[in-house]
Amino acid sequence: MVSIQKKSQVDLINNLLKDRSNFLLIRIGKTTHQNLETLRKELKKTNSTFKVIKNTLFQKALNLSVKDQPLFKELKKKYFPLKYPSALITLGKDWSGGVKALYNFFQKEKSLSFKLALLDNTLYSDEETGKIAQLPGRDELIAKIISGFKSPTSKFVYSLKFNMNKFVYILQQKAKEVK
């Protein structure tokens, strides 16, 4: 007989997957509750949610969503059955901040690791997700591009002013010698 509590958990996971198209599944291992709460607070700052889940209930929620999301069928073929305790992290549209915060937390807490990720309708393995997490975020890349545009013009302006500045410096030295 199906437990009402389990059914409501499956519905909750299913709704989370429908509301947020980007998510990560992580292995939580032997992590303390206090560390998981710290992680939850850090992820909340990036508009991400953290939920410890049972692997079987996650699989049942995916089964309900397979019709809506054909990518879930591929996810099931590659990664199921899941092993080890898991947590589901759902991310907003700008998922780079949440993934970066998670990666930084993993550096402190070694018992956590990536299992899989679904970001922008693409499946990533644990290794690929780790590489993505190390990349600079969208805002950081935009800042680098803008500074790249600014750099040549500022160097050009400096090179135009260089001869004039050198001439003024020579005149100042000559004026000191005359005094």
Residues in the chain: 179
For position 95, what pLDDT does the model report? 85
Same domain, 104 and 46: yes
Name the nearest CA neighbour of 61 among 18, 26, 22, 24: 18
d(CA 14, CA 58): 8
pLDDT tier at 12, thresholds 50, 70, 90: confident
Same domain, 42 and 117: yes
- Contact yes or no for 20/50 (Cβ under 8 A): no
Query: Which residues share a beta bridge with 27?
Result: 86, 113
pLDDT at 153 > cutoff 80: no
Same domain, 121 and 146: no
Same domain, 86 and 18: yes
Same domain, 78 and 47: yes
Q: How many domains does the chain have?
A: 2
Same domain, 106 and 152: no
Q: What is the pTM of this model?
A: 0.72
Same domain, 45 and 122: yes
Instruction: Provide the domain limits for residue 41.
Output: 4-135
- CATH number for the domain that contains residue 109: 3.30.70.1730
Same domain, 110 and 148: no
Same domain, 126 and 88: yes
Compute the average pLDDT of residues 53-57.
88
Same domain, 29 and 95: yes
d(CA 150, CA 157): 11
Same domain, 35 and 68: yes
Q: What angle do CA 156, 137, 50 make, to 5 degrees?
A: 165
Same domain, 119 and 68: yes
pLDDT at 140 > cutoff 80: yes
Query: Percent of the chain having pLDDT more than 70?
Result: 99
- Contact yes or no for 159/62 (Cβ under 8 A): no
For position 84, what pLDDT does the model report? 87
- Contact yes or no for 101/45 (Cβ under 8 A): yes
For position 17, what pLDDT does the model report? 82
Query: Which residues share a beta bridge with 123?
Result: 118
